[in-house]
Amino acid sequence: MRNSARPKPRQPGRPVQADNADMRARALDAALELFAARGIESTSLREIATAAGVTPALLHYYFGSKPQLVETVIGERLLPVVAQLRDALQDTGGDSAALVAGFVRAAFALLNRYPWFPPLWAREVLCEGGALRELLVKRIAPMIPLKLAHQFAAAQKQGELNADIDPRLLVVSMVGLTLFTAASAPIWRAIFRADDIDSDAMRLHTLALLDRGIGVG
């Protein structure tokens, strides 16, 4: 007996592969890599589609427009990484030394796991007009930097932190010694021929510098 069932007709305008979750994830990954390498403003949807191996129509189906794609990258790729760093600090118990050590360890672990983060941060946060600067100020700052500065200020009032240190600049120093060190690695590795310095060596150096300074005076 012949099977009379027929394939369900495709909805008009709906790409054939629209329900493939792997393709959607691949598109987000491709967008993230291109944003980190070339910048958000300089990357087109067509370039992202080509890098992901999907059609522009499929990209439009998934995300609609480029601003919507950028917001999806932020919500599904960037903020979860920041949340991992925030969660790692919750297990330190609030002690200043533990907070510093916990931040440095977690930061280098995440930067090693997500190599796109440092160049994306350098391009889109540090550079004037970066597309993610407002995101940092409004959405990321309350998650980590402001909380750390508040905790360090409280510790300083209790005599647990060097009185000459500004708690806010301590947070800036921690971010600079981790994120900026990773972002600028291609430069200083070339200058010092320092390919032997891996993320573990950077972590140990950073902890020694923050804990004990440079040992002068």
Please name the residue ranges forming H helices in the chain. 21-38, 45-52, 56-63, 66-73, 79-89, 96-113, 117-121, 133-135, 145-157, 167-175, 181-183, 185-192, 199-212
Q: What is the pLDDT of residue 215?
A: 83
Distance CA 209, CA 213 (A): 5
Distance CA 3, CA 164 (A): 82
Of 69, 151, 58, 135, nearest to 103 (Cα)? 151
> How many other C-beta atoms lie within 10 A of the C-beta of residue 124?
22
Written as six digits, the tokens of 176 are 């600079």
Sign of CA dihedral 129, 103, 217, 160: positive
Cα distance between the two ends of the chain: 94
Instruction: Please classify residue 71 by burial: count the beta carbons closer than 10 Å to its beta carbon, then call 0-12 exposed, 13-18 middle and 19+ buried.
Output: middle
Separation in Å, CA 63 to CA 67, 94, 158, 179, 204: 9, 40, 50, 29, 42
Q: Where in the chain is the domain with CATH 1.10.10.60?
A: 14-64
Separation in Å, CA 122 to CA 36, 117, 127, 172: 9, 9, 7, 14
Q: What is the pLDDT of residue 15?
A: 57
Topology of the domain covering 77-212? Tetracycline Repressor; domain 2 (1.10.357)
- Tell me the three state secondary structure of residue 75: helix
Topology of the domain covering 14-64? Arc Repressor Mutant, subunit A (1.10.10)
Which residue matches tokens 């990484």?
Answer: 81
Local mean pLDDT, 10-residue blocks, the chain (217 residues): 49 55 93 97 96 94 96 97 94 84 96 96 94 95 95 94 95 96 96 96 96 82
Written as six digits, the tokens of 67 are 């601003």
Tell me the HSE value of 162 on the side-chain side, using a 13 A CA sphere: 10
Q: Where in the chain is the domain with CATH 1.10.357.10?
A: 77-212
Q: What is the pLDDT of residue 7?
A: 47
Q: What is the pLDDT of residue 216?
A: 76
